[in-house]
Amino acid sequence: MQKYEDPHEDDMAYLHALHSRSFDQWVYELENGFNICLYGFGSKRRLAEDFAAHLYHHQSSTTNSTPRIVIINGYNPTLTPKDILTTILTSLLPSSVKLPATPPLLHALLLTTLSAKPPVIPLTLITHALDGAPLRRAATQTLLANLASHPHITLLATADTPTFPLLWDLGTRSALRLLFHDCTTFASFAPIELDAVEAVNDLLGRSGRRVQGRDGVGFVLRSLPENARGLFRILVAEQLAASADLDDDAAAAALAAQAADDDDEDNLGFADVPQTPSKRGRGAKKAAKEAALPSSTAPVVGVEYRVLYHKAVEEFVCSNEMGFRTLLKEFHDHQMIESRKDGGGAERLWAPFRGDDLEGLLEELVE
């Protein structure tokens, strides 16, 4: 396998070179107030990043200002609107500025910053997989459309699914102001662009048992009986309350230690944000050692088994422990909850999702 050579490699290189000839045209379109969507079969990640380099050199040579280009990896399963807004603000504001904690406040701060001190060169968003699972929600597409419609922000996005135009209503599509270019490359998707666990589950016929973030949990909960939704609501509410009792840093560290995909948690999905020294070299080894410490050295952000059971009984979610365990098994099967013993030997349960996702789920369950 290591000696295998793709017989179509020369043809794919020709296609890449052919699309690269349009870079100057794309720059002209962005400078005239349009945004760009690249579609077609094959990975367009390399093409988009090559264009980002071309745009950077073009803007650097024509102005005295440093271009600002933010790359958003829409295929990252942990990506959220908060990550997008935080990274954009980080590229505009000094590191000493403390950013708000919620997306609406971050969005408001971004608009205020762009109005008070507009950049000489519009900020460019290079968005891989605009139709990726983390970005498909209507609210996220609306946010991206609002950003793309700002006079000091331009957007170049790639789309990988043939039905991506169905993501937008008329208002969102008008706000995006997209020009579409067929950029078929036939290039294979890099491992970073694919969910390896989901691919294995597809091969094993288990894809229906795995939950993909907040949207996946909501879909599963809608198919479960009312008492199951009630139990999950109690768990999420208690977990958020327990997290609020800890410092933000301690809670983040505890959740990261409990999550199965620590590497995914570290990666916010932005290729243009350099890693801090603490996450390279010795810093990475130190972080790995800290993550490997026993559970007694870090607080467990979760709900004790007996506490959750008694609260479920009080709210008439279940009447006995057998029914309680049956509901928990359904959550475990869909990977919606995880459990482990704390330092005192008590079993604790938690939902392995980000804080803002848990808050959104709680709002939906309460409604």
Chain segment 266-276, per-residue pLDDT in tens:
443 444 443 33
Q: Which residue has the higher pLDDT, 212 or 222?
A: 222
pLDDT at 84: 95
Amino acid identity, position 271: A
Question: Is the pLDDT at 215 greater than 80, yes or no?
Answer: no
pLDDT at 64: 85
Q: Which residue has the higher pLDDT, 181 or 206?
A: 181
Q: Which residue has the higher pLDDT, 150 or 214?
A: 150
CATH for 8-194 is 3.40.50.300
Question: Is the pLDDT at 260 greater than 60, yes or no?
Answer: no
pLDDT at 284: 44
Give the domain ranges of the chain.
8-194, 202-246+300-366
DSSP letters spanning 160-211 = -STTGGGG--HHHHHHHTEEEEE----PPPPGGGS-HHHHHHHHHT-GGG--
Handedness of CA 85, 88, 91, 92 (dihedral sign): negative
Region 49-63 average pLDDT: 95
- Under CATH, which architecture does the 202-246+300-366 domain have? Orthogonal Bundle (1.10)
Region 145-168 average pLDDT: 96
Predicted TM-score (pTM) of this structure: 0.65
Which tokens hold the place of 195?
Answer: 């969910």
Question: Is the pLDDT at 92 greater than 90, yes or no?
Answer: yes
Q: What is the mean pLDDT of the chain?
A: 82
The alpha carbon of residue 273 and the mean position of all alpha carbons in its chain are separated, in whole angstroms, by 15
Residue 170 CB partners (closer than 8 Å, separation 6+):
none
pLDDT at 197: 59
